[in-house]
Structure 1
Amino acid sequence: MSIRPLHFLFLISILFLNLPVTAQSNDPLETVDFENQRMWVDSIYNNLSLQEKVGQLFMVDLFSNGSRASHNKVRGLITEQHIGGVIFSKGGPGQQAKLNNEFQELAKVPLLIGMDAEWGLAMRLDSTFALPWNMTLGAVQSLKLIEEAGASISRHSRRLGVHINFAPVIDINTNPENPIIGNRAFGEEKINVTNKALAFMKGMHREGILSSAKHFPGHGDTNSDSHKTLPTISFSRARIDSTELFPYYKLIDEGVSSIMVAHLNVPGLEREKNLPSSLSKTIVTDLLKERLGFKGLIFTDALNMKGASNHTSPGDIDLAAFLAGNDILLISEDVPKASVKIMEAYNNGIITEERLSHSVKKILKAKYKAGLHHYLPVNPIGLEENLHTVQDRVLNEELFENAITIVKNDLGILPVKDLDTRKIAYVHFGDDSGDAFLTQLRKYSRIDHIKAERLDEMISKLREYNLVIIGYHKSNASPWARYKFSRDELTWIHEIAKNNLSILNVFTRPYALLDLNSSSLMEGIIMGYQNSPIAQEKTAQILFGALEARGKLPVSAGEEFPAGTGFYTRAVNRLSYGIPESVGLRSTGLAKIDSLVDLAISRKMTPGLQVMIARRGKVIYNRNAGYHTYEKKTPVTDTSLYDLASLTKILASLPLIMELEERGVINFDSRLGELMPYFIGSNKENIRLQDMLLHYGRLKAWLPFYVPTIDRATKRPSLQYYREKPVENFNLQVANEMYIRNDIRDSILGVIRSSSLEKQLGYKYSDLPFYIMKYYLEDHHNAPLDLITYDRFYNPLGANYTTYSPLEHFSLDQIVPTEEDKLWRRQRVHGFVHDQGAAMQGGIGGHAGLFSNANDVTKIMQLYLNGGHYGGRKYLEQETLEKFNTCYYCENNVRRGVGFDKPQLSQSGPTCGCVSLASFGHSGFTGTFAWADPDEEIVYVFLSNRTYPDVDNRALIRENIREKIQQVIYDSIEF
């Protein structure tokens, strides 16, 4: 069967019509509605004069914080020279938005707005967001995160009216001495650089921003700066093709919008001696446009850079760059002169109409693709908020978490475990702050900051420590900041590493390790890449195993640390710290907590407080508010210690009880007479342990042990019981200048033994079970309760702010006072336990006496949520926790678990009523509260001294502040 020619052509045309639009062209500037785009471009072009066409070739620079004269100069270039675009540089977002709108109104053809925003608008603008530098991103193994980085920066750019970001940098930085690229490169390996650049570009395009690969044909292996001179790339054509050009092949295939040509001397590609690559037709046209087949925009690098401007004079250099094949002449030194030169060349036939229209129409196509055919001015309303979103902060955290690299891990020293065997020192080197690092380290363990004027003094001080954490902190102000160790620093670090188990943390570029002659002596080395607070905090979290280490070196740091080095470490169930959205909570919702906190402080419900919230093992809210007292002399800080009151029950006594129960030493059916023979023959002999801890054992709520010790006549503490100074048989300190007789502990137990029981069986909250269990626990372990809890829990947990008798370990100004006691102690209760019964036991009670901060309380509650695991150690079994966290007598309207408080069964109770029935915790008389919810993986801790100065101040309780905060938490859950 024959097919007639016309029919054949018709069939072929149908086939082509059914192909995807992208198959029509590999032009990265072409849009899906290419016909409309073409019509718009042609219409604009055909209505331009020669001068206006030539004007489109120029993109001039402007500082939004520059002088009025500089702004007027650009205004003139827009109206008189008809320039095609502006590249904004230093300044602020508000002023830039204002100028952007004004300039666009002045332009006959909408301006193409560009910026260097390689790591965000903050590269050029104040008050804007910065993501990590490319070298840091080069260590990240997740390409999805890199794509999100490109998208985030592009959202900011688009919001500010920017159409093209001169990124990604795809230079392969194989020269550690490179003065201008360095941290701006993704690394030294072409595959890694290419993959990161492609992902970054994909994110840019997703958000509608034009990309620009730079610096063609490759600025990575130079030791000079093209801003100051003409660097030479001395490699062969084959080497350049296989290495420097490798990313360009890939990005061109994937549709990079533009390419920026550098000012480089490349003898392997251009025969003319010292001809900048930006002016080389061989490089721009023959290589980039024809051999590589690139159809996007081609920018020169800034023509005012010495690498180009030293070659020829203003105007001539612009003409040469255009004749070489560039489309946009970036930052010309003299636009009017250059425009005249180009028009003269056009009129003299040196530049053809075809050549001019080729570039100008490409520029117009780019403007169409950027949306300038439907130009809208920048809306200043909400600009600041849009440039600082919570999502950006979450991404920034994730990027650093994934970048930080463990490059050495001898003896498996990382992450640091076994805190009970460690005495840790921190030593600071470098010229920038390490405060964020040290503060974060101290959230995990006791860390002493050791300083010395002389090396021998330093070595002597460090002898008492078995682990030294070294922080090397260099300026994070710019990616070009100095990074090398000084000679003295190298000597000091060498000697420290020779004498101590050491972990070095480097907060600058990896090349710093090249000079480190003591790396073989270090047990651990962590690369933090930058010295931003977030890099310091995340490094500390990785060091202690709160986060996994996932990064890999993007460049080599000598033979010992080649590119790709990186040890993966698993997290060990320690608390990490981050942003609510990273664990499915809304920051905007949690912001309501601030209002409740401020209300509590302003209405004097408490002088001050701490609130901490963690979800899925991550602390996402930490607020210290107010002062220690209403005199407002000492503000509440992270390290302020509060009297926990009854939280002592579940944070001190209960874990020891659970430990003995799972070991079979005791059980729920153990009778009090079996546990303590002292109670045999009493009315308490047959009370079951379970019932006692469930407050279902008919025990009295409390007994006023201190009342009989007050002289009835004087209404003051009786000399029969007290002394002002410790003397024989009077060594238990109750308060300042107040010591009680030692045998009072026996008297207290005797009073409990002889006390009557409640007449009817029913729920009755009582402190007495934990009085009793203190005696049992101390007898079983043959040690006082404070030492037992420290050795078995607090020390290995790194709960170094949790203690009985806080004045023995902390200064008075770190401890929050609880009451102005006018009845018994007749003094400010400060540094001593508020509860009278615990005070009479020397401050160490099973029901009260513990002091701590919110961070440590959260650790212990998180241990419970972790099923008894924390920091790589198992403290309790999951089954044990579940057994104690059970409401055994719910049907009898007893909400309590065994030791733990549980959610209310009716209208009133300890919680907001919004928590799961699996949740548990406790509250304390002084205004404390700790609650954990396994279902939602939430820990909520509230510490206050609402009893100061008067215990009768019940406003905090009456206004349900703690419960309202808990409700806000649950209202803020997104997923």
Structure 2
Amino acid sequence: MQTQTVASMPLTQKVGQLFMAGFDGTEPTAGIRELIREYNLGNIIYFTRNITSPAQVAALSAELQSEATAVGAGLPLFVATDQEGGVVSRLNWGTQLPSQMLIGACDDEAMARKAGATVGRELRSLGINLNLAPVLDVNNNPDNPVIGVRSFGENPERVAALGAAMAQGLQSVAVAACGKHFPGHGDTAVDSHLDLPVVAHERSRLERVEFAPFEAAIQSGIDAIMTTHVAFPAITGDAELPATISSAVQTALLRKQLGFDGLLVTDCLEMDAIAEGVGPAEGAVRAIEAGCDIVTVSHTLERQRAAIEAVLTAVRTGRLTEERIDRSLQRIRRCKQQRIGASETAEKPEWNRCAPESKQLATEIANCGVTLVRDDSETVPFDTSRHLHVVSFTGTRGSPAEDERYDPEAVSAALSEVGFEITTHTVATGETVEIAAENEQIVAVSYDALANESQAATLRTLIAHHDQLAVLAVRNPYDLSVCPDAATFLTTYGYSPGAIQAAAKTLAGTVDPTGTLPVTIPD
């Protein structure tokens, strides 16, 4: 990887390397090409809107890399995406792993490490060299609308061990890992995409719980950490200051106290916690002032340009020093040399050869982690020779971080594949369903009933009138709290293909559910 020295690069190119931008469509837009050519943009982020097939993604990555290395300093791009597994999986062609919480239900560090390596090989085959994962948040708030099953669980030590292992797996195949969301988004009841959450715990509690997984990841050599747009007044003294733009968080805590010298990447500055506060442009300047290295503006070309220009102006007017820009640039170049440089000399995996391994591991994880939380009546497994009613609920994504992928009939299809004769009842919000015969076998497929009283009421009515009924939670294990104490309850912590198939096999008796809940269900 031959590039200019930091000292010889023009300021515009230096600043461009500190930005990560997204764009619409499955081919490079005129706008993203302009950012690369005019500012030497250093980093790209893919969302589902950029992805249609493995061949298309690989070609898109190659074209963007060719554009980037032909201009400016000749530095290759970090091409990033959020391939966490489960409900946040940008690559959606049946190879995605189940959620991190399902891996948490397995509680197997070797499996988490293998998951990272398997995801990493698939990403590398597509030209993606930075995975914005693992999630290192400790999810101890059942009402959390944005993390939930994206977390390994509520135990800081287990989240730390599993997160560090997954990051090691990614980096073992030359894909940079980025742990998120520092200092911790797990104990919030507000989504930072929509507003500014506040975590009001005292410093000692934060050090014991929230910080622990990040410390473990740092000690194990994680390449990057993503900051969060959450206020931590015990650290900053300000309940209205997002951590992303706080030097008390980024420099004093993360750099000095925890000793992290890797890449600090911001969460997207177009999220409302920033966009409706200081705004993306000022937010970019303040994030770099605070200690961040890569500033993410994921969506809007005008905001991307404005943010880059704001940082350039800040340097030219003396608010930011060029030496400060150089420190971030040196970290970026070092990490690119380590990960992209290593991948350039290694054999590039072929997606067609990676896909079967990904599917096999997804099945292995799902079969291990599917959790039969309660079955006092010994309802599970069901009798495949008898008719089965499947009651499913419509559902939308829990947060803008997710994609609209939930299919309420997916469980019915999977149960049909394992031998059941099915009648499907799909219930929209506000609707009810009645199944007349009392001796019918029923699976009620809940989708975040904890946050949907209409769905919860329907579940309770079905449970009250039918003895041979199991609740299958495919979105949120906390749905158990809305069910009566005697209800049979099974959870998959998400609706990825592997998880749904594992649930169907469990209900048919061909998979023994061995997973254990990695979270506490409130009474």
Q: Pick the TM interval, shorter chain.
A: 0.7 to 0.9
Can you list the C-alpha shifts for 1:933-954, whole angstroms capped at 9, x where unaligned? Answer: xxxxxxxxxxxxxxxxxxxxxx
343-352 or 271-280: which moved more? 343-352
Higher relative contact order (CA closer than 8 Å, sequence separation 6+): 2
Is residue 553 of structure 1 aligned with residue 517 of structure 2?
Answer: yes
Percent identity at matched positions? 29
* 1:294 matched residue in structure 2: 260
Query: Who is 2:118 aligned against?
Result: 152
- SS in structure 2 at match of 1:45: coil
Q: What is the correspondence of 1:502-521 to structure 2 with a 5 Å cutoff?
A: 502-516=469-483, 518=484, 520-521=485-486
Name the structure 2 match of 1:172. Answer: 138
Partner of 1:428: 391
CA distance in 1, matches of 2:279, 2:392: 47
Unpaired runs of 5+ in structure 2?
Answer: 69-73, 395-407
Equivalent position of 2:23 in the other structure? 62
Match of 1:458 in 2: 435
Cα deviation code 1:92-147 (max 9, x no counterpart): 24333333222222223222211111118982245463111222222123222222
Contact 1:141 1:402 in 2 (8 A): no
Deviation at 1:196, TM superposition (A): 1.8
Residue 80 (structure 1) aligns with: 38
Query: Could you tell me which residue of structure 1 aligns to residue 174 of structure 2?
Result: 208
How far apart are 1:384 and its partner, in Å?
5.5
Displacement of 1:302 in angstroms is 0.9
Aligned residues of 2:19 and 2:42 also touching (Cα < 8 A):
yes
Q: Does 1:439 align with 2:397?
A: no
Alignment-mate amino acid for residue 357 of structure 1: D
The amino acid of 1:138's aligned partner reads G
Contact 1:485 1:515 in 2 (8 A): no
- The alignment status of 1:370 with 2:339, answered yes or no, reads yes
CA distance in 2, matches of 1:128, 1:225: 28
| 1:91 maps to 2:69 | no
CA distance in 1, matches of 2:389, 2:140: 34
Alpha carbons 2:84, 2:135 under 8 Å: kept: yes
Matched with 1:351 is 320
Larger radius of gyration: 1
Q: Against the structure 1 CA distance between its residues 256 and 495, is the aligned structure 2 distance closer, same or farther, given a 3 Å change threshold? A: same
Alpha-carbon separation, structure 2, partners of 1:80 and 1:427 = 56
1:411 Cα shift?
A: 5.3
What TM-score, normalized to structure 1?
0.47
Deviates more, 1:340-349 or 1:233-242: 340-349
C-alpha distance 415-448 of structure 1, shift in aligned 2 (>3 A): closer
Residue 493 of structure 2 is matched in structure 1 by 529
Query: Any conservation in 1 of the 2:58–2:125 contact (CA below 8 Å)?
Result: no
- Aligned pairs for 1:395-406 (under 5 A) are 395-406=361-372
Relative to structure 1, is the Cα distance of residues 451 and 537 closer, same or farther in structure 2, using a 3 angstrom cutoff?
same
Q: 1:300 to 1:487 in 2, by over 3 A?
A: closer
Q: Does 1:490 align with 2:486?
A: no
- Mapping of 1:803-818 within 5 angstroms? none
- Counting only pairs closer than 5 Å after superposition, residues 823-842 of structure 1 correspond to structure 2 as none
Offset of residue 483 of structure 1: 7.0
Paired with 2:130 and 2:426, the residues of 1 have a C-alpha distance of 51
Contact between 1:279 and 1:321, CA under 8 Å: does it hold in 2? Answer: yes
Distance 1:375 1:52, change over 3 A: farther
For 1:27-72, what per-residue CA distance to the aligned partner results, in whole angstroms no more than 9, with x for missing partners?
xxxxxxxxxx9xx77x532331122212211111123437x7xx11
Counterpart Cα distance in 2 of 1:106 and 1:448: 52
1:366 and 1:521 mapped to 2: Cα distance? 53
1:532–1:288 CA distance, 2 compared to 1 (3 A): closer
Instruction: Give CA deviations for 1:752-797 in whole Å, capped at 9, x if unaligned.
Output: xxxxxxxxxxxxxxxxxxxxxxxxxxxxxxxxxxxxxxxxxxxxxx
Consecutive unaligned residues of structure 1, counting only runs of 5 or more, are: 1-36, 560-975
In 2, Cα distance between the equivalents of 1:378 and 1:100? 17
Task: Provide the secondary structure at the position in 1 that maps to 2:192.
Answer: coil
For the 8 Å contact 1:64–1:95, the answer to whether it is kept is no
How do 1:300-339 and structure 2 match up within 5 A? 300-331=266-297, 334-339=303-308
Letter in 1 for 2:6: Y
Query: Secondary structure in 1 aligned to 2:106?
Result: coil
Structural mapping, 1:37-52, within 5 Å: 43-52=4-13
Q: CA RMSD in A?
A: 3.4
Does structure 1 residue 409 correspond to structure 2 residue 356?
no
Aligned counterparts of 1:551 and 1:487: Cα–Cα separation in 2? 24
- TM-superposed CA distance for 1:455, in Å, is 9.1
CA shift digits 1:644-683 (9 cap, x unpaired):
xxxxxxxxxxxxxxxxxxxxxxxxxxxxxxxxxxxxxxxx
Shift of residue 533, structure 1, vs aligned partner: 5.1
Q: Distance in 1 between matches of 2:432 and 2:324?
A: 69
Equivalent residue letter for 1:195:
A
Report the CA distance shift for 1:408/1:364 in structure 2 as closer, same or farther (over 3 A).
Answer: same
Contact 2:243/2:249 (8 A) holds in 1: yes
Report the secondary structure of 2:233's partner residue.
coil
Aligned CA distance change for structure 1 residues 175 and 378 (closer, same or farther; 3 Å): same
Is the 8 Å Cα contact of residues 172 and 185 (structure 1) preserved in structure 2? yes
Post-superposition offset of 1:458: 3.1
Deviation at 1:343, TM superposition (A): 3.6
Tell me how far 1:297 sits from its aligned partner: 0.3
Q: Tell me: CA distance 1:556–1:52, structure 2 relative to 1, closer, same or farther (3 Å).
A: same
- Equivalent AA in structure 2 for residue 91 of structure 1: N
Structure 1 residues 78 and 534: alpha-carbon distance in aligned structure 2, compared to 1, 3 A threshold: closer
| Partner Cα separation in structure 2 for residue 172 and residue 95 of structure 1 | 36
Which residue identity is paired with 1:538? A
What is the rounded CA distance, in whole Å, between the counterparts of 2:450 and 2:426 in structure 1? 26
In 2, Cα distance between equivalents of 1:438 and 1:374: 42
**Partners of 1:162 and 1:59 in 2: how far apart?**
14
1:178-217 residue pairs with structure 2 within 5 A?
178-217=144-183
Partners of 2:107 and 2:286 lie apart in 1 by 42
Q: Give the deviation of 1:541 after TM superposition.
A: 2.8
Which stretch shows the higher mean deviation, 255-264 or 434-443? Answer: 434-443
Shift of 1:368: 0.2
For residue 221 of structure 1, give the secondary structure of its aligned residue in structure 2.
coil
Which of 230, 234, 248 is 1:264 aligned to?
A: 230
Kept in 2: contact 1:110–1:375 (CA 8 A): no
DSSP 3-state at the match of 2:473: strand
